[in-house]
């Protein structure tokens, strides 16, 4: 274990800090003693633009930057806007790291994505498998843009001694998630579908693909805990998976959400729609060994909390 940062003595800038994960990370950092958090929000700061990034550094004067901000979405959004997803994510990350080094930043925490892994990665995904193939095509532009931050992190550490780390969280879910059908991920999309079908008395819902792919999910509070611990204790540019090690098929996930939301109809699988990556499950041993992180929230408990939040906050 590395020497621990004292968050009470540090100014911390969180890009994307007003978002889903960011709000939970803010709360966790405050619990761990952080007092000065700076959250740049759009459109006041457009982090794709170098001059706006320069203003963030001037205004926040941070010791630590945690870069959560990203242009993200499900398979549909990734297929519609591959160019945007590549450019915006690459420009944000590359310029934040470069200007952070120029500024004399103490530490940079880059948040990557599970989409950076090759399409056919052996299960469970180990960090050393990251370069053994091309990512799944539907989200490769996003995954590769994020993966470049790992290359940059390692290059800047080697040449300049710049302390940056690179974390690979698996798919998040939890209270406050994005339930917009145009851009949401699978769990909020299914919760919304099942709740609306239940209320309308519909006999079936339609789900994408054939239900065979597997996914791993991490409850958002657990992910925030992992990022906070890595920020506090980890100082190496070797990438680290942040996950729960729990794998579930999309078919089983859909049936579980139907049961927990009280939707009693059937599921029709639209096999004209893509499945995405065949399997996803992370090896999380490095996070445990390097900074003592293990996810704690059981999947069913996390889903119940997410559904309850949606039922209370929609509309």
CATH of the domain at 115: 3.40.50.720
Residue 1 has pLDDT above 70, yes or no: no
The model carries a pTM of: 0.94
Catalytically annotated residue among 57, 142, 173, 219: 142
Residue 50 has pLDDT above 80, yes or no: yes
Residue 204 lies in a domain: no
Strand partners, 240: 167
Quick one: pLDDT band at residue 2, thresholds 50, 70, 90? low
Residue 259 lies in a domain: no
Beta strand spans in 201-287 (E) = 204-208, 214-219, 240-242, 247-249, 266-270
Is 142 catalytic? The answer is yes
C-alpha span between 253 and 160 (Å, rounded)? 46
Give yes or no for a cis peptide into 43 (omega within 30° of 0).
Answer: yes
- Digit-coded pLDDT (tens) for 134-144: 999 988 999 99
Residue 274 lies in a domain: no
- Digit-coded pLDDT (tens) for 52-81: 999 999 999 999 999 999 987 777 777 899
Residue 205 lies in a domain: no
Quick one: pLDDT band at residue 176, thresholds 50, 70, 90? very high
Q: What is the mean pLDDT of the chain?
A: 95
Angle (CA) 291-294-298 rounded to 5° is: 165
Quick one: pLDDT band at residue 277, thresholds 50, 70, 90? confident
Strand partners, 241: 168
Residue 50 lies in a domain: yes
Lowest mean pLDDT among 41-50, 177-186, 240-249, 256-265: 177-186
Residue 191 lies in a domain: no
- Digit-coded pLDDT (tens) for 83-97: 999 999 999 999 999
Domain of residue 169 covers 8-173+220-245+281-296
Residue 183 lies in a domain: no
Residue 129 lies in a domain: yes
- How many separate domains does the chain show? 1
Average pLDDT over residues 297-315: 96
- What is the 3-state composition of the chain as percent helix, strand, coil, each rounded to the nearest 5? 45, 15, 35
């Amino acid at each position: 274990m590395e020497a621990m940062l004292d968050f009470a003595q540090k100014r911390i800038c969180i890009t994307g800090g007003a978002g889903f994960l960011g709000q939970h990370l803010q709360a966790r950092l405050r619990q761990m003693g952080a007092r000065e958090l700076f959250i740049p929000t759009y459109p006041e700061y457009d982090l794709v633009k170098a001059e706006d990034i320069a203003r963030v550094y001037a205004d926040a004067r941070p010791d630590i930057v945690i870069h959560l901000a990203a242009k993200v979405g499900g398979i549909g959004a990734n297929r519609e806007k591959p160019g945007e997803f590549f450019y915006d994510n690459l420009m944000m990350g590359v310029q934040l790291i470069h200007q952070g080094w120029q500024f004399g930043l103490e530490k940079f925490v880059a948040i990557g994505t599970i989409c950076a892994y090759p399409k056919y990665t052996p299960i469970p995904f180990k960090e050393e498998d990251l370069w053994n193939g091309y990512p799944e095509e539907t989200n490769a532009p996003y995954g590769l843009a994020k993966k470049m931050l790992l290359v940059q992190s390692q290059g800047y550490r080697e040449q300049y001694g710049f302390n940056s780390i690179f974390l690979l969280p698996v798919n998040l879910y939890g209270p406050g998630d994005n339930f917009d059908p145009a851009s949401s991920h699978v769990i909020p999309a299914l919760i919304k579908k099942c709740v609306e079908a239940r209320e309308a008395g519909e006999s079936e819902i339609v789900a994408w693909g054939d239900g065979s792919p597997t996914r791993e999910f991490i409850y958002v509070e657990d992910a925030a805990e992992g990022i906070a611990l890595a920020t506090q204790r980890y100082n190496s540019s070797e990438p680290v998976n942040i996950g729960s090690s729990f794998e579930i098929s999309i078919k089983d996930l859909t049936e579980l959400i139907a049961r927990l939301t009280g939707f009693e109809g059937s599921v029709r699988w639209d096999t004209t729609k893509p499945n995405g990556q065949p399997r996803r499950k992370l090896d999380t041993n490095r996070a445990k060994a390097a900074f003592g992180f293990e996810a704690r929230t059981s999947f069913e408990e996390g889903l119940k909390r997410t559904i309850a939040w949606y039922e209370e906050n929609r509309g």
